[in-house]
Amino acid sequence: MVERNEKGKQARQYFIECERRVLQPQTLLPTTKELALMVVRAEEDKEKLLLENKSLSTENDCLKNLFKEGMTPTQFSKMLNGVNSQQINHFLAGLKWLYNESKSGNNLRWRVAATARDKYLTEKQNEISPHGANSVISYRPVLLRKGTQRLYDQYLADKLPMKKNWNGLHTHDKTIQIVA
């Protein structure tokens, strides 16, 4: 700064500008224009939150109408438009939620896998007593609420096995439609 050359002049001007900024009174309060912009943004955010909340509550209402305690995955999938309910247990086996307990490939006995037990599914035990024979215990996979939500999310993401004649609508049919 003391050399009186071009670099010194630039350094002097820089420090003078810094001093001017420090001594200039600072406004801590936002201007009217800034306040109006903040209000508009807050209203937009509020509208977005309301729309998200409405769509979540609609989806939640759909699940409340569909889910009943003690439902098997097959029973739940039958209520969803277009899902191939005969393939749902195979799909869940692919997710490692179910496994086939039977040693032979012909007889399928689905059991809940450890990865999904008490998180997405549980089992109900049934004792079958044929006349004149020893009783046999069978197990039935049963959906829990969280499992139903995960299955419904898979449905909305088009990841469940669908029928070939599915119309592409993610709905559940409450009434039987008769086509004339």
Amino acid of residue 107: N
CA distance 85 to 138: 21
- Cα–Cα–Cα angle for 17, 19, 23, nearest 5°? 120
What global pTM score does this model have? 0.58
Helices 145-156 + 32-66 axis angle, to 10: 110
Average pLDDT, the chain: 81
Average pLDDT over residues 91-98: 92
- Domain extents for the chain? 31-66, 69-156
Structure tokens at 85: 């309910």
Query: Mean pLDDT across the stretch 62-85?
Result: 80
DSSP helix/strand/coil, 141? strand
pLDDT given for residue 155 in this prediction? 85
Maximal CA-CA distance, the chain: 115
- State how far the Cα of 109 lies from the Cα of 141, in Å rounded to an integer: 10
pLDDT of residue 175 exceeding 60, the answer is: no
Among 82, 143, 136, smallest CA distance to 109 is for 136
Q: Which residues contact 158 (CB under 8 A, 6 or more apart)?
A: none
141, 98 Cβ separation under 8 angstroms: yes
Return the pLDDT at 91: 92
Give CA–CA dist 92/76, Å, rounded: 13
Query: What is the average per-residue pLDDT within 101-124?
Result: 85
Least confident of 59-63, 102-106, 113-117, 149-153: 59-63
Condensed to tens digits (0 to 9), the pLDDT of residues 12-22 reads 888 888 888 77
Region 89-93: mean pLDDT is 91
Whether 61 shows a pLDDT value over 70: the answer reads: no
pLDDT score, position 177:
47
Confidence at residue 178, expressed as pLDDT on a 0 to 100 scale: 46
Contact 81, 169 (CB under 8 A): yes
Determine what percent of the chain is predicted with pLDDT higher than 90.
11
Predicted confidence at residue 164, as pLDDT, reads 84
In this prediction, residues 56-69 reach a mean pLDDT of 63
Give residues with Cβ within 8 angstroms of 81, minimum separation 6. Answer: 166, 167, 169, 170, 171, 172, 173
Contact between 74 and 89 under an 8 Å Cβ cutoff? The reply is yes
72 Cβ contact partners less than 8 Å away, ≥ 6 residues apart: 140, 141, 142, 143
| Residue 176, pLDDT score | 45
Q: Tell me what the mean pLDDT of segment 35-60 comes to.
A: 78
Rounded CA separation 159/83 (Å): 10
Residue 25 confidence (pLDDT) above 80: no
